[in-house]
A and B are shown apart, each in its own frame.
Chain A
Amino acid sequence: MNKELDEFEIDITRCMHCGACVGSCPVNAIFLNEVVLEFNDDCTMCKRCVKVCPVGAIKLAGER
C-alpha cells in the first residue's frame, strides 16, 4: 500500500464484502479476496468507492 492510500480506512464492522466498491472502481485499484479489501497503487483518490458503498464502510482517515 502506498503512502497516499493510508488515507483510506475500511470500517470492518460495516463492510459486507459485497464488492460494490471493486466493480465501481474506474482504475481497478481495489481487490476483494473473499473478505479482505485491498487498495493498490493505481488508486487516484476519486472516492467513487466511498460513495457507492451501500453501508458507508469506506472513509478517509480522520473523517467521521
Chain B
Amino acid sequence: MPEYDVVVVGAGPAGSMTAKFAAKGGAKVLMVEKRQEIGSPVRCGEGISRSWLDAHGIKLDSKSVARQVKGAKIVAPNGTAFYLSEKMAGDEVGIVLDRIFFDKLLAKDAVKAGADLMLKTSAVGLLKDGKKISGVKVKSFGETRDIKASCVVGADGYESQVGRWAGINTSLAPRDITSCFQYRLTNIQHDPDYCEFIIGSKAPGGYIWIFPKDEDTANVGIGMQFTKLKDKADVKRHLDKFIQNDPRLKKGKPLELVSGAVSICAPIDKTIGNGVLLVGDAARQIDPITGGGISNSCKAGKVAGEVLAKSVREKDFSEKSLQRYEKGWRDLIENHLYRNWMAKEKLVTLSDDTFNKVITTLKEVGVEKMSTYAILKAVEKRHPDLVKEFQDLL
C-alpha cells in the first residue's frame, strides 16, 4: 500500500492549490518543499489581478496584500505613457502581493484541508514500477528515503525535475526563455497607484516593471528574452542602467535582490503521464507576454486537485484517468497562452519607433479592452501598415 495517494513536489501556489483541492476531495496528500521557508526566497514581481481569486477559493489576508493599485501604466521608449484601469489591464495588475505571506496562506489552506507538509526536503528522483510512477525519492535532514505514492505532482517551478525524470518533454527553445532580475527598491519616487511597464530596447525582448509595494518602495525588475542577451550578466546591467537614468529611482536603495528565469513558450504538448502530472511553471503555464504565472498556476492547480480527488475515489491514476486534468487546464487557459505566445513572437521584433507609434495612438484614441484584438483595432486606423504584420492575430 502506498503511504500517500498524492505527493506534491514544491509548495508554491501551484503545489499548494493542487494539494488543497486533492485533500479536500478526500485524497491523502503530502507536500514536499526543498526550501526552509515557504514563500522565500521570493522569485517574482508579485503583481496579480483580483478578478479570479474568489472563484478559486482564495481569501487574501491583509498581510498577503502589499498594495492595491488603480491600474497599469505602459511606457513607450520615448517616455509616452498610456494608462489602463484595472478592469482593462488583464491578469497581472490590481494587487501587489507579499509572496512571503501569500504562499504561506495557500500552504495553510492545503494543510487545513488535510495535507501533510515537509520542509527542507528535496525530491531527488522518481520511483518507478514498470512504466508507472510509484513515488518519489527525497533527501531531508541528511536522510534519503523513498515515499510511495499513487501519483506524483511536479509543482517544482521553472527548474522542474519531476517532468524530466518522468520523460515529459518540458525543454525550452532559447527564444522561449526570459532571464529576470529585480530589486526591491526603497527611497524612490514612483507612482504608488500604478503598476508600470516600460517596453522597448531598455529591456530587449521583454520589459522593465515597477510594481509598488508602498509609498516609497517598489519591485523594480527586468525580464529579457534569452536570444537578446549578449554578454554575461546582461540582465542586471540593463536594469542598473535604467535605474541610474531614472531620476525617480536613482537614489533608491535595495532591500532585496531577486533573480530567476521564466518560460514564455507556447503550451507544451503534454503535462501528464502514468501516475504523474505537472502544474504551474513546471508545466510551462506562464503567460508568454507578461511572464506572470500565479493566476494560471492557481487555476491549473485547482483543476489538478479536483481531478486527483476523483482518481483517488476511482483508484485510477493512469495517464488516461489524468487526461481529465490535461483537458481541464487547457479548456481554461490554453487558447489564451497560445494567442499570447503568437503575439509575443511579433512583439519581440518591434522597434522602439513602432512602440512609440502604438503607445501614442493608444493614448490618443483609447482602447476598449486590453486584448491583442482591441489594441490592433485601435491602432489600425492610423497605422494600417503596422497592423498588417499582425494580420494573422486578428
Q: Measuring CB to CB, which residues of chain A are less than 8 angstroms from any residue of chain B?
A: 14, 16-20, 22-24, 26, 28, 31-34, 48, 50-56, 59
**Chain B positions within 8 Å of A52 at CB level:** 177, 179, 226, 229, 261
| A-B pairs with lowest CB-CB distance, top 4 | A56-B233, A19-B159, A20-B261, A22-B159
Complex: A59 Cα to B231 Cα, angstroms: 12
Pairwise interchain contact B229-A18, C-beta atoms closer than 8 A = no
Complex: A28 Cα to B168 Cα, angstroms: 12
**Chain A positions within 8 Å of B258 at CB level:** 16, 18
Q: In this assembly, does B372 line the interface, its C-beta being within 8 Å of a C-beta of chain A?
A: no
Residue in contact with A19 in the complex, picked from B36, B157, B172, CB distance below 8 Å: B157
Q: How far is the CB of A58 from chain B (nearest CB, A)?
A: 8
Q: Measuring CB to CB, which residues of chain B are less than 8 angstroms from any residue of chain A?
A: 34-36, 41, 43, 120, 122, 124, 139, 157-161, 164, 171-172, 174, 177, 179-181, 226, 229, 232-233, 235-236, 257-261, 263
* Given A24-B172, A54-B180, 17 extra CB contacts under 8 A: A17-B41, A18-B259, A19-B158, A20-B159, A23-B160, A24-B261, A33-B34, A33-B139, A34-B35, A34-B36, A51-B226, A51-B229, A51-B232, A53-B232, A54-B179, A54-B236, A54-B261
Residue in contact with B260 in the complex, picked from A14, A19, A31, A59, CB distance below 8 Å: A19
**Chain B positions within 8 Å of A17 at CB level:** 41
Complex: A26 Cα to B34 Cα, angstroms: 23
Pairwise interchain contact A24-B177, C-beta atoms closer than 8 A = yes
Complex: A34 Cα to B138 Cα, angstroms: 13
10 example contacts (A-B, Cβ-Cβ < 8 A) are as follows A16-B41, A16-B259, A17-B41, A18-B260, A20-B260, A24-B261, A48-B174, A51-B226, A53-B179, A56-B232
Q: How far is the CB of B91 from chain A (nearest CB, A)?
A: 22
Pairwise interchain contact A23-B159, C-beta atoms closer than 8 A = yes
Pairwise interchain contact A33-B158, C-beta atoms closer than 8 A = no
Pairwise interchain contact A33-B122, C-beta atoms closer than 8 A = yes
**Chain B positions within 8 Å of A14 at CB level:** 233
**Chain B positions within 8 Å of A55 at CB level:** 181, 233, 235-236, 259
The chain A residue with its CB closest to the CB of B223 is: A54
**Chain A positions within 8 Å of B35 at CB level:** 34
Complex: A14 Cα to B232 Cα, angstroms: 12
Complex: A26 Cα to B173 Cα, angstroms: 9
Complex: A48 Cα to B232 Cα, angstroms: 11
Pairwise interchain contact B159-A32, C-beta atoms closer than 8 A = yes
**Chain A positions within 8 Å of B139 at CB level:** 33
The chain A residue with its CB closest to the CB of B120 is: A34
Complex: A35 Cα to B41 Cα, angstroms: 11
Q: How far is the CB of A10 from chain B (nearest CB, A)?
A: 13
A20-B158 contact given A55-B259, A56-B236, CB 8 Å threshold:
yes
Complex: A21 Cα to B160 Cα, angstroms: 11
Complex: A22 Cα to B258 Cα, angstroms: 16
**Chain B positions within 8 Å of A26 at CB level:** 171
**Chain A positions within 8 Å of B263 at CB level:** 23
Pairwise interchain contact A20-B259, C-beta atoms closer than 8 A = yes
Q: How far is the CB of A29 from chain B (nearest CB, A)?
A: 11
Pairwise interchain contact A53-B34, C-beta atoms closer than 8 A = no
**Chain A positions within 8 Å of B124 at CB level:** 33
**Chain A positions within 8 Å of B179 at CB level:** 20, 52-54
Pairwise interchain contact A28-B260, C-beta atoms closer than 8 A = no
**Chain A positions within 8 Å of B158 at CB level:** 19-20, 22-23
Q: How far is the CB of B41 from chain A (nearest CB, A)?
A: 8
Pairwise interchain contact B226-A24, C-beta atoms closer than 8 A = yes
Pairwise interchain contact A16-B257, C-beta atoms closer than 8 A = yes
Complex: A53 Cα to B231 Cα, angstroms: 10
Q: How far is the CB of A1 from chain B (nearest CB, A)?
A: 17
**Chain A positions within 8 Å of B229 at CB level:** 51-52
**Chain A positions within 8 Å of B160 at CB level:** 23
**Chain A positions within 8 Å of B171 at CB level:** 26
**Chain A positions within 8 Å of B164 at CB level:** 28
